[in-house]
Amino acid sequence: MLNIEEMFHETNALQKGHFLLTSGLHSDTYLQCALVLQYPHLDQKLAEAMAEKLAGQKIDVVVGPAMGGVTWAYQLGLTLGCRAIFTERSEDVMTLRRGFSISHGERVLVAEDVATTGGSAQEVVRLMAGSGAQVAGGALIVDRTAGALDFGVPYYSLYQLRPQTWNRENCPLCQANQPFDRPGSRNK
């Protein structure tokens, strides 16, 4: 049995401190999936575990938002035997670039490494639906809401937890003047 929490501890991907998350929320816990995904054999184990959850579903293309979803999407595409692409922000709008495209009716799986509010994944779901794709669902390594996300499509996660998050105004770590780290891929 794959122990995701142990994998995150062994790679120092589960971090404690004061963090400003990509969502704009503050937290005392951060999951840096890149520290796990830098090891292809671990990425493969995660993708195989996700493929088991997706058994029987037809997926034509896996799409991940840059940055966190890129490596994960490609490993899932390899494991599922389908195409894998990524989206990027252009003037703060999630877009397909680099010649990537989606054909009408393609079955898309949205791949994200970690979701706190699910904002990036939701943007990709909207982009794919607007491109005429059939969004089959989402595939998360970590769900920081312990199942409370709503993408408007089913989603699957390998690890769920619900660490404390706060708005800046209510953050006890800010009130204690503890400096924060901004480890995500977007600056807020």
The residues spanned by each domain of the chain are 13-175
CB 144 within 8 A of CB 155: no
pLDDT in tens, 32-78: 899 999 999 999 999 999 999 999 999 999 999 988 889 999 999 99
Question: How deeply is 3 buried, as exposed, middle or buried, from its count of CB atoms within 10 A (0-12, 13-18, 19+)?
Answer: exposed
26 CB neighbour count, 10 Å cutoff: 22
Give tens-digit pLDDT for 76-129: 999 999 999 999 998 888 889 998 999 999 999 999 998 877 888 899 999 999
Distance of alpha carbon 22 from alpha carbon 20, whole angstroms: 7
Query: Domain 13-175 carries which CATH code?
Result: 3.40.50.2020
pTM of the predicted model as reported, rounded to 2 decimal places? 0.86
Reported as a single tens digit per residue, the pLDDT across 23-34 is 788 999 988 899
Asked whether 28 and 63 are in contact (CB, 8 A), the reply is no
